[in-house]
Structure 1
Amino acid sequence: MPPTFVRPPALRPGDTVAALSLSSGFVAEVPHRYEAGRRQARAELGWHILPAPNALRGSEYLYRNPQARADDLHWALENPEIHGLLSTLGGDDSVRLLPHLDLNLIRTHPKCMVGFSDTTVTLLQFLRAGVSACYGPSLLTDIAEHGGMHRFVVQGLRQATMQTAGFALSPAPEWTEQHQEWLDPDLQEVRRTFLPSRGWRWLQGEGAVSGHLIGGCLEVLDMLNGTPGWPEPELWRGAILCLETSEDVPPPAQVGYWLRNFAAQGILGSAAGMVLARPRGYSSEMVEELDGWVRRVLWAAGREHLPVLANVDFGHTSPQLTLPLGGQARLDPEAGVFEVLQGAVS
C-alpha cells in the first residue's frame, strides 16, 4: 500500500507563520532583507511572520546550538498562536538536528512547513512522521525577492499552502540566476533581470503515472543518506522523485553517482516517475551531459520507460514552484501534464 500522510490545515490570510532558522543564521546579517520578506509575505499572502525565539540570534550561536534550532521547531509546533512554519534560509547544517527532533510533536501538531535546500532534512522528517510538507521558497529567497515577489511564486505558494484542492503546474514564463548582493540595503528594491524560459522537457516516459511527491536537494540527500533520518523504504515506494541541485553546481557525473546509489537502494526500481529541477549554474553542455547520465542510470536500473520531466522551476532557481511533498501528483508525458491531484494541506 502507498504511504498516507496527514495534511495540515491550509494557511489563510491573517495567519501567523513562524520564521525558523534551522540551519544557517545568516538572516541576522541582513535585517533589511528579513523585513522585506516579512512585508512582502504580509502584502501578497496575508501572513504575519513571527521569528522563533532563536531564529535571529546569528550564525555563531545557532551553529554552536543545534538544540536551540530544534527547540524553535518544537516551540512553533506546540504554540497554538502559530499556524505555519517557514524556513528563513537553507545552509549545510540541518543534519545535526536529527538527534534533537521529536517526530511525535510533528505528528501530533501537524502544521504546514515550507522550505527548500538544506531544509530538505526537516521536510523529510515531516514525511517520516506521516505529515505532508512543502518544498518551496524560504523567507530570504523568493519571498524577499528584490523589488517584490514574482507573480509565479505568489501563485505557487497560494496553491500549495492555502488551497485544499488539486492544481495544475506549468512552467514559469521567465527565470533568473542573477546574483544581487543581499548585504547592500540599497539593492533590495532593484529588480533582477529575468530571461525568457524555454519551458520544461520530457527526457523519457510512456504512459501516465501517479504517486506521492518526495525528494529535495541532492547534495543534502547525500548528507542524510545512511543516517537515522533517511526515509524508510516504504516512503520511497511508488513515489514521484523530485530532485534538484544547489549553487554548488555538482558535476553531471556526480549526479549520476547519486542516482546509482538510489538504484542500488531500490528507490529507482520502485519509483513511479521523476521530476528534475533546472540545474543552477549549468552550461548547455553540462545539461546535455546530465541528460545522458540520467538516461544511462535509468536504463541500467531497468527503468528506460520511467517518465522523467526535466528543467522544472523548483529548488535553486527563481522564480520557483512550491511542491507538496507527500501530496499525490500525476505525470503524463504524452499529454505534457504535471499536476497535483491532492496537495499538502486540508
Structure 2
Amino acid sequence: MATELIRPPRLVPGSRVAALSLSSGFVTEVMDRYHAGVRQVAQAFGWEVVPAPNALRGPEYLDAHPQARADDLHWALENPEIHGLVSIIGGDDSVRLLPFLRPDLIRAHPKVFLGYSDSTVTLLQFLRAGVMAYHGPALLTDLAESGGMHPFTVEALRRALVDEPQAYDLTPAPQWTQAPQDWNDAAAQAVRRPHQPGDGWVWLQGDAPVEGHLIGGCLEVLDMLNGTPGWPEPELWRGAVLALETSNDVPTPAQVGYWLRNYAAQGILGDLAGLMLARPRDYTPEMTQALYGWVRRVLKEAGREDLPVVANVDFGHTSPQLTLPLGGRARLVPPASAQPPGRVTVTP
C-alpha cells in the first residue's frame, strides 16, 4: 500500500516553507519564540519560513474561523512559491477543519507537511489523500528550541525531508528533556534546557522481524478523530506499523488501555504489523510501568501476543524528537532476532 503513496519533493536550501496555525492561534502571544524558530530553521537548513495569510491573526480570530485555517492549508498547497508546510503549534480542535478540507488539493499538490500533536488530524488527511506526511517538530517547539536546535532533531529532519530517500536506522536520543520553558523570556531563549541521559528504548514483546507502512499520531487527537469522516479507512491500518504518542494532558495508563481496546474492537490491532510507543509525556516511572502492563494486557486480550512492540521511542511530546515519515516503510527487528537492543529501520 505504501508504494501507492506520493512522496513529496525533498526540501533544499532556498525552499520556502509556509508556517500554519491549523490549531491554536497562540503564536501571536510568543512572537519572539516564533522569530527564533524562523531564524533557526534558516540557519540549520537554509529554508525560508513564511507565515500563511491567516496564521498570525491571533487565537480569537482563528478559534472563530476554522475555515480560515483550512484556507491557509489550501493556499500553501496551491501556491507554486511554497515548497513545504510546517505546523506552528498544536492545540485541541483541528478536527473542526474537516468539513472545509480539500483532499483533492493535497493529492494534486503533494508537499512536505510537518507537525505533531493536534496536527495528527492533518497528517492523516494527507495519508487518506495518498500523500506521505511527516510526524515531527512544530515551529514553536523543537525548531525554536532554546539554545538552538538539538543536533538529534536536525539529523532526524535531514534524513526524513532533505537527504535522498533511502533506508536508515532510527536511534535513541543520547539525551532528552520534558523540562518546561518560558517562551516569553527572551534571555531564556539562548539557554539550553536541562536534559537527562538517554534511557533507550524498551521492547515489550515480539520475536520476529516485521515490516509495514507507518501510521499514527497523538492518542488524544486520534480519540477526537475516531468516528468522523476523517478517520482512516481500514486499508490504511492493514499491515501498518502504528506509532502512538501521548500529550501533556497526561492520560492515565488505564485510559491508554481503553483507547487500545477500541482499536482492538475495530479490528485495527488484529491487522497491525507492529507498534511503536513514544516516551510518555510527564509520566512517573510507576505510571510508565503501568502503561506497559496495560499495553501487554490489551494485546493479549486481542490475541496479539505476537505483535512486536517497542516503547519509549523519541517522538511526539518529548525533546529532541525524531521525524517519522508516515506512509513510509518501517521495519522492526526485536532483540530476539538481532543484536540487542533491536533495530527500527525506516524508508522515507
Q: Give the counterpart letter for 2:8 in structure 1.
A: P
Deviation at 1:167, TM superposition (A): 1.4
Distance 1:28 1:167 in 2: 38
2:345 aligns with: 339
Residues 247-266 of structure 1: matches in 2 within 5 Å?
247-266=248-267
Determine the C-alpha separation between the residues in 1 that align with 2:47 and 2:344.
Answer: 28
**How far, CA to CA, are the matches of 2:102 and 2:322 in structure 1?**
28
1:218 maps onto 2:219 in alignment: yes
Pairwise CA distance, 1:104 = 0.1
Q: Show structure 1 runs of 4+ deviating over 2 A.
A: 1-4
Q: State the distance in 1 between where 2:147 and 2:28 align.
A: 20
1:45 deviates by 1.2
What is residue 64 of structure 1 aligned with on the other side?
64
Equivalent AA in structure 1 for residue 161 of structure 2:
T
Q: How does 1:218-297 map to 2 (within 5 A)?
A: 218-297=219-298
Gaps of 5+ in 2: none
How many pairs align?
A: 342
Q: Which residue of 1 aligns with 2:44?
A: 44
- Structure 1: where are the runs of 5+ without partners? none
| Letter matched to residue 216 of structure 1 | G
1:1-346 to 2 correspondence within 5 Å?
4-163=4-163, 164-333=165-334, 334-335=337-338, 336-340=342-346, 342-343=347-348
Q: Secondary structure at the residue paired with 1:72?
A: helix
Instruction: Call closer, same or farther: CA 1:51–1:227 in 2, change over 3 Å.
Output: same
> Whole-Å Cα distance in 2 between the matches of residues 153 and 167 of structure 1?
15
Residues 275, 309 of structure 1: 8 Å contact kept: yes
Instruction: Decide whether the 8 Å contact of 2:279 with 2:314 is kept in 1.
Output: yes
Structure-2 separation of matches of 1:45 and 1:203: 36
**What displacement does 1:145 show?**
0.2
TM-score w.r.t. the length of structure 1 is 0.98
SS in 1 for 2:332: strand
Contact 1:274–1:308 under 8 Å retained in 2? yes
Give me the whole-angstrom Cα distance separating, in 1, the residues matched to 2:191 and 2:265: 47
Query: Post-superposition shift, 1:4?
Result: 2.4
Structure 1 counterpart of 2:196, one-letter code: L
Output the TM-score relative to the length of structure 2.
Answer: 0.97
RMSD: 0.8
What is the letter of the counterpart of residue 283 of structure 1? T
C-alpha distance in 1, partners of 2:174/2:23? 31
CA distance in 2, matches of 1:284, 1:65: 41
Check the 8 A contact 1:2/1:237 in 2, yes or no: no
